[in-house]
Structure formats: structure tokens, C-alpha cells
A and B are shown apart, each in its own frame.
Chain A
Amino acid sequence: DVVLTQTPPTLSATIGQSVSISCRSSQSLLDSDGDTYLNWLLQRPGQSPQLLIYSVSNLESGVPNRFSGSGSETDFTLKISGVEAEDLGVYYCMQATHAPYTFGAGTKLELK
């Protein structure tokens, strides 16, 4: 199975600060169709996960553009340009290139 390693496990930020989360894959997530199925989700406390970014860098409808994704093959990054209070929660990367689909262990974003 593909292992996704997220760092850091915990992130403390002030409102307005820009932060980045890394997701490294144990194998390339480039699919034979040319797309890379690496997604980012946010799980706020007590809620179900919600999609933020799909296929590395595509912003899901309704998601603020302070969120951005980048990367390729095995190294991916989620950036939040100016943290807001509503951004607190656990961020997960997820790959859907290889079955079984797998998730990173999560990065908890807290207020400093």
C-alpha cells in the first residue's frame, strides 16, 4: 500500500500567518493517464472531512483561495496564505492513484 507521510504532525500558527504542510508518498502518484490524484482535506473538530484541493492543485468550489497546493510525483505541499480562525482542524492528504486509497496521518493546525 502507498504510505503518505505528513509533516509536521502539529502546526501552531497565529491569525494571518502563512503555513505549509508537506505530504510525501512512498511511490509516485503520477497515474498512467497523466493525472496525479493527490487530494487535501480538512476535518474541523466534530465534523466530517471536507475536500479542499484535488489533483494536487485544483481548488474545490467554495474553498477560499488562500489555500493552494503544489507538487509532483512523490512530494506535495499544501499552503495556507494567511491563516484564519475557521482553518483550525486536522489536514489530511489522500491519494487515489493506487488502490487501496490511503491517507496521511494528519497535521493538526492550532492557534498559537
Chain B
Amino acid sequence: QVQLKETGPDLVQLTQTLSITCTVSGFSLTTYNMHWVRQPPGKGLEWMGAMWNGGGTDYNSAFKSRLSISRDTSKSQVFLKMSSLQTDDTAKYFCARQLGYYWYFDFWGPGTMVTVSS
């Protein structure tokens, strides 16, 4: 049974660093690519970046150098780390999986809501 679950802090202080973990089960991170997508309250979806099944990463340039994605395959976990948080980083953060050359996200986690507070 495929499951994805994001865990992270509810509240992060302005200019601090956000760390979120996506824990998966029912499939392997060495087979599937994993993506991070965020959604500000009442707004649309924004692709942030990807962890490829081979271990490489790609990032949306909108996040410049403040975003980092990594993984621990032994724990079936993917990590998002984003620095220098601002109030407009307040959003629900989702992880989603994608298989090889099938360019769509077929399973999403429930998301974790993060509020950036001043």
C-alpha cells in the first residue's frame, strides 16, 4: 500500500530554516522520483524541486540557493530544507511521487501546513 506522509513544524520564525520530512512506504525511493510542491493558503500550487531516483536533484530557480532536497533511502525518507524564510513561505507543503518517464505525480502526501511568524 502506497503511503506518503510529510512531517514538520507548524510554526517557523522569520528568517529561520524550515525542515520537512517525507516518509514513504509501499515503494522504493530508488525506483520513484520524489517532488516537493507547496500551496499558500487559498492559492495555487508551486513546484519546488525534485529528488531523482538516482540521487540527483533539481530545483525551481524561484527558490534560488535557499532550497535543498536530500534523502535517506534506508529510512525511505526525503527531506526538504529551506532557509531564510519569509512570511510568503507560509504554505502547505506536499511531497509527491513520479515514476521514470511517466511525467505526472500519481500519489501525493496529505501535506503539512507551515506558518512563518514574525
Contact = CB atoms under 8 A, between A and B. Distances in A.
A94 interface: yes
Nearest to B63: A100
Instruction: For the complex of A and B, list the 8 residue pairs with the smallest distance between their C-beta atoms, beginning with the closest.
Output: A96-B103, A54-B104, A48-B108, A100-B60, A37-B103, A101-B47, A103-B45, A39-B104
A59 B58 CA distance: 28
Interface string B101-118: 111111011110000000
A48 B94 CA distance: 8
B10 interface: no
B109 A48 contact: yes
A92 B45 contact: yes
B17 to A, nearest CB: 22
A51 B105 contact: yes
Interface of B: 35, 44-47, 58, 60-62, 94, 101-106, 108-111
A35 B109 CA distance: 27
Nearest to A48: B108
28 contacts: A35-B103, A39-B103, A39-B105, A47-B110, A48-B108, A49-B94, A49-B108, A50-B108, A51-B104, A51-B106, A54-B104, A60-B106, A92-B44, A94-B45, A94-B104, A94-B105, A96-B103, A97-B103, A99-B58, A100-B60, A100-B61, A100-B62, A101-B47, A103-B44, A103-B45, A103-B46, A105-B44, A106-B44
A39 B44 CA distance: 15
Nearest to A40: B104
A102 interface: yes
Given A33-B101, A48-B109, A50-B108, 9 more contacts: A48-B110, A55-B103, A92-B45, A94-B45, A100-B47, A101-B47, A103-B47, A105-B44, A106-B44
Interface in A30-86: 33, 35, 37, 39, 41, 47-51, 54-55, 60
Nearest to A60: B106
Contacts of A33: 101
